[in-house]
Structure 1
Amino acid sequence: MADATLTIGFLPLVDACLPILAHEHGFAADEGVALTFVRDVSWATVLDRLLYGHTDGAHMLAPLTIATTLGLGRPAQPLAAPFVLGLNGNAITLSKPLAAMVASPGEYGDPAAVGARLREAAMAAKAQGRRLRFGVVHRFSSHNYKLRYWLAACGTRPDHDVEIVTIAPPFVPDALASGEIDGSCVGEPWSSVCVERDVGTIVLASAQIWRRGVEKVLAVREPVLADKAEAFAALIRAMRRAGRHFIDPANFAENARILASPPYLDANPALVLRAISDRLVLAHGAAPVHLPDLMFQHSEAANFPWMSQAAWLYSQMARWGHTAFDPADAARAMRVFRPDIYRAALIDTGDDLPNASSKVEGSVTQMTQVGAQQGTLTLSANRFFDGLTFDPDQIEAYLASLP
């Protein structure tokens, strides 16, 4: 392949790390692809730049990639997600008074117990004529769907008992400080900024709601992916190398410094380091708390675009009235995730490749070796906190079973 250039759009979040580090450590150059970056402040702008051809690919919310393909909220444009940039990585951060009511500040709570107490607080506020308000980063975001999933499973009805509003990640600390919202679900470093500013307390991580839940993807317009297939295959290989580097504790400090620098997150390196090392400070002045796999960027085929994860996101769109369930749309949603592209890029590298492209989500409860097309693949628990599972072949039955 002749040298190629790809322009990547991103938001200042730690989980934009893999393309950035692929560039900074020379992995992309080794593969013959040069990367340039465009930083934005909102997901809507990242999407606009991608759709209008200002960028070739983007660090993107997985559900927004599906919604755009289905034409939800704007004219449909087919997008592809050939690479998952990360699993988990978000936190539920509440105002300090609310956090003190429902959790033990400075500790991760039990999702069911915190959810039950939050329901009591929500009902008390509603009885007084004011609904609690939570901020999420976009209507079509895993933040929104995981927050809703958790609330509903604990007896709180989103849109009835509480409000959910959209706030761009960099503005979440200001919204919490001003009292505009009572809590948020946002990616790092913005929950840590809330804690550092002493305007909020982290009570849960999204990994506690759905362990191994899909987060961001590399999103590409289908015509661009076809036109620049070799360059994107090279980028996939480079990002896999970046992921291996990223999860090595010996590299944590260096990668935190790179990501925190002005061209990228323009953030406090200490806060970025907390996220990279899975050791967040949950309350102002408290000691860091280690939650393994707070973020998950590489092992266990973390970057593989499982079509079943796309199907779960589509099920939540249907559940919450963002679209009417349609089997044809469910199939289209699943096809947004492109394991074929991922496999083709890595087939001769010795990297781990699953045999299957879909699985029953939430069904793995212990370390389990699974069939591999290449390499050896062991998956650890991927359960939902309420113990439910999701079969992508039974979406209608799944929806009918939910509260």
Structure 2
Amino acid sequence: MTHSVRAAFIPLLDASLLIAARECGFAEEEGIDLHLLRETSWANVRDRMAVGHVDVAHMLAPMPIAANLGLTPFSTPMIAPMALGLGGNAITVSAELHHEIGVAGVDDASAAGAGLRQAIARRAKSGRPVLRLGVVHAHSSHNLELRYWLAASGISPERDVDIVILPPSFMPDALAQGDLDGFCVGEPWNTMAVARGAGRILTVKHAIWANSPEKVLSMTRRWADENTGTVNALMAALYRAARWCGDPANGEALAGILSGPAALNVKAGVLTEALSGPARFVAFERAATFPWESHALWFYSQMVRWGMVTHTSDNALTARQTYRPDIYRTSIGAAGGLVPNANAKVEGALMRAETAGASGGMLMLGPDGFFDGRIFDPDALDAYIRQQTL
């Protein structure tokens, strides 16, 4: 029996799993007739799923958490039973600002932050306008991690810069026109800006928080409850797609698939460069598709930090329960995949890759360090939130 599934996505590299699942036949082999609907803005993706126009979505990792915390127009409960990869973001700035900051390489987030702080101070002293930085949505890893990096670098995200919202594919044009001084966005839009000569990559998500979450497969709780077999089959297809996408031998073929007009509609050469570039999108390795509850709680801690939601035990529980490793364990375990034994981990504790217990064998996890050396223990959430500064 074939099950029809409608899925919304934004044209980004980390939509690869959904696109490859359809184009490479993994969805069909699992009994899923997968219909992909390309959207421009994350608000459209969220709202179309909330009102039932689509069944599932390629979604910003913090977005279903925000929805369940009442931060969105609709009160439809959402879940995230699967992640869609790790990394893949970068911070790109104008060529002029990059020259002013004066750092070489993208892997030293501390040096990049220090250089940006000094550039901001010089601009303030000379009376120049504050820098305008673009992110894709308030409830995005881009916004929360950009703010984390800025604050840890001695830059106030509230006072020292102006953070604005823009769809991902608009970022290179906005930078080229001078409407933005920089942006945090997923690939291939950083590589696109560099290829056009509009900007240069300053640092990458991996340098701020190594192997950190980015997008999730999201769906309404009701749809998941009413379609358990379809959910299991879809996730099995996406797991197979993740394995295929994560194999470097398939990079050229993946770039060709993603370049299509119904997919990312970007030249294959740009996509090939983005797939192998410094932003380091991880599709399969490092348990890249597992929905760690500790990831959900870290995003929640940053929502609290920046005044999006009040910290209560009920809100923390809501955030934790948005991510559903139990569904992943059932679906992917039945499909023969390796699944971590734990539902959460201490984030930032792994300075190098290490093995961890998993059903059916061992998994390689990490590194997962934060650039400032901080540790996030989900069992010490209250203390972590108290220690945060604005």
The alpha carbon displacement at 1:300 in A equals: 2.1
In the TM superposition, residue 129 of structure 1 has moved relative to its aligned partner by 5.0
Q: How far does residue 178 in structure 1 lie from its aligned partner after superposition? A: 1.7
Q: Hey, what's the Cα distance between the residues in 2 that align with 1:383 and 1:399?
A: 18
The equivalent of 1:244 in structure 2 is 243
Amino acid at match of 2:167: A
Does residue 1:301 correspond to 2:287, yes or no? yes
Q: Distance in 1 between matches of 2:80 and 2:93?
A: 32
CA distance in 2, matches of 1:61, 1:376: 28
Unaligned runs of 5+ in 2: none
Question: 1:358, CA displacement in angstroms?
Answer: 0.5
Deviates more, 1:164-173 or 1:123-132: 123-132
Contact 2:9 2:45 in 1 (8 A): yes
Asked if the contact 1:71–1:77 (Cα under 8 Å) also holds between the matched residues in 2, the reply is no
Q: Is the 8 Å Cα contact of residues 126 and 132 (structure 1) preserved in structure 2?
A: no
Name the residue aligned to 1:183: 182
Equivalent residue for 1:115, pick from 104, 113, 116: 113
The secondary structure found in structure 1 opposite 2:337 is: coil
Matches within 5 A, 1:183-222: 183-222=182-221
Distance 2:212 2:63 in 1: 15
Secondary structure, counterpart of 2:378 in structure 1? coil
- Whole-angstrom CA distance in 1 between matches of 2:180 and 2:382: 34
Aligned equivalents of 1:12, 1:313: Cα separation in 2:
23
1:170 paired residue number: 169
Structure 2 equivalent of residue 102 of structure 1: 101
Matched, 1:362 2:324: no
Question: Aligned AA for 1:389?
Answer: I
Q: When the two structures are superposed, what TM-score results if normalisation uses the length of structure 1?
A: 0.94
Provide, for residues 123-152 of structure 1, a one-character-per-residue CA deviation record: whole Å limited to 9, x for no partner.
Answer: 222331521110000001000011111111
Deviations 1:189-217 (A, max 9, x none): 11111111111111111111000111000
Aligned with 1:339 (options 305, 325, 340) = 325
Which shows bigger deviation, 309-318 or 297-306? 297-306
The alignment status of 1:373 with 2:359, answered yes or no, reads yes
Structure 1 runs of 4+ aligned residues shifted over 3 Å read none
Contact 1:95–1:176 (CA under 8 A) maintained in structure 2: yes
TM-superposed CA distance for 1:367, in Å, is: 2.6
Matched to 2:317, the amino acid is A
What amino acid does structure 2 have at the position aligned with 1:11? I
Residue 268 of structure 1, CA deviation: 1.1
User: Whole-Å Cα distance in 2 between the matches of residues 257 and 17 of structure 1?
Assistant: 11
Match of 1:313 among 296, 299, 305: 299
Query: CA separation of 1:328/1:252 partners in 2, compared to 1, >3 Å: closer, same or farther?
Result: same
C-alpha offsets along residues 342-386 of structure 1, whole Å, 9 cap, x if unaligned?
111122333111111011111112232222233321213110011
Kept in 2, the 8 Å contact 1:148–1:158? The answer is yes
2 CA distance for matches of 1:104 and 1:358?
36
Distance 1:245 1:269 in 2: 18
What is the deviation of 1:168?
A: 0.6
Q: Contact 1:87–1:214 at 8 Å: present in 2 too?
A: yes
Match of 1:396 in 2: 382
Amino acid at match of 1:142: S
The answer to whether the Cα contact below 8 Å between 1:176 and 1:183 also exists between their aligned partners in 2 is: yes
Aligned-residue identity in percent: 43
Distance 1:170 1:380 in 2: 30
Contact 1:103 1:109 in 2 (8 A): no
- Show structure 1 runs of 5+ residues with no match: 280-290
Conservation of the 8 A alpha-carbon contact between 2:88 and 2:282:
yes
Structure 1 residues 33-81: Cα deviation after superposition (integer angstroms, max 9, x where no partner): 1100110111111111111111000000011111011111424221010
**Count of residue pairs brought into register by the alignment:** 388
Matching residue's letter, 1:111:
A
What RMSD over aligned residues (CA atoms) do the two structures have, in Å? 1.3
Query: What residue number does 2:133 align with?
Result: 134
Shift of 1:109: 4.8
Given residue 316 of structure 2, which amino acid in structure 1 is its aligned partner?
A
